[in-house]
Amino acid sequence: MSHSSVLIAPSILSADMAYLARDLERIHTADLIHFDTMDGHFTKNLTFGPDVLRAVKRVSDIPVDVHMMVSDPDTMADWYVDAGADIITIHLEASVHLNRTIQHLKKRGVRAGVVLNPATPVLLLEDIIEDLDIVLLMSVNPGFGGQSFIPNTLSKIRSLKSLCQAHNVAPLIEVDGGISAANAEEVARAGANVLVAGSAVFSSSDPAAEIVRLRELGSRAYQGVCA
């Protein structure tokens, strides 16, 4: 990734599961595939297990970003590493042994990060920020696609950016929920450089072109942050 570029990670939560291989081809311009795994406990929804990840890896060479919305990520993360995950993010709210699990994932060769729910403050990352490859900020409450972006996320991104600067680290800053062409610029301008987009991409008549559009909008705004 160049210093001033923004990565687009379409969420297959919004794909048509009956035609997953087709929908993966339709997002061939993506930088990452965002893979939401939910266990029915941490969120009131049940989504993709490791076998679905293996299927994705068989038909796409785009790196997969596994977002673990599960009650026991300390145990379950290895399932997804074994299935081919490239990035794994786990919720601070769910992990009992966060530092240990992050270190374990990095030893296993994946990029590892932490997710914060909308009501979880950035300051809770103070003692682990230097160990993270990526931080994912939820801009909706997790569980379902198609929700509206929570405006306070913009100030939260800026707080995270300040925390990173104070520690002289530069993890990827990812934002998930309600991202579209209408807000991609302001989200990137606040300091995010990975944008998760589900409905905005898969409901488009040309998902591949919509990804390019979102990347251009975000990267143009993010260049001002890097200048």
- Tokens in use for 10? 């379409």
Q: For position 156, which CATH number holds?
A: 3.20.20.70
In whole angstroms, give the CA distance from residue 44 to residue 79.
21
What are the pLDDT digits (tens) for 39-57?
989 988 889 999 999 999 9
In whole angstroms, give the CA distance from residue 39 to residue 105.
20
Is 123 inside a domain boundary? yes
Assign 3 a pLDDT band (cuts: 50, 70, 90).
low
Q: Is 36 noted as a catalytic residue in this protein?
A: yes
| 202-to-26, 48, 66, 105, 181 alpha-carbon distances in Å | 9, 18, 18, 30, 13
Is 134 inside a domain boundary? yes
In whole angstroms, give the CA distance from residue 13 to residue 207.
14
Q: What is the per-residue pLDDT for 224?
A: 77
| SS3 state at 111 | strand
Give me the catalytic one of 36, 39, 65, 133. Answer: 36
What are the pLDDT digits (tens) for 133-191?
999 999 998 766 667 899 999 999 999 999 999 999 999 999 999 999 999 999 999 99
Q: What is the per-residue pLDDT for 1?
A: 42
- Which range of residues forms the domain containing residue 109? 7-226
Is 2 inside a domain boundary? no
Give me the catalytic one of 23, 31, 65, 176. Answer: 176
Task: Assess contact for 137 and 153: CB atoms under 8 A.
Answer: yes
Q: Is 133 noted as a catalytic residue in this protein?
A: no
Assign 2 a pLDDT band (cuts: 50, 70, 90).
very low
Crossing angle of helices 98-107/73-82, nearest 10°?
10
Is 160 inside a domain boundary? yes
In whole angstroms, give the CA distance from residue 226 to residue 57.
33
Number of compact structural domains in the chain: 1
In whole angstroms, give the CA distance from residue 9 to residue 37.
15
Is 1 inside a domain boundary? no
Is 32 inside a domain boundary? yes
Crossing angle of helices 50-59/73-82, nearest 10°?
30
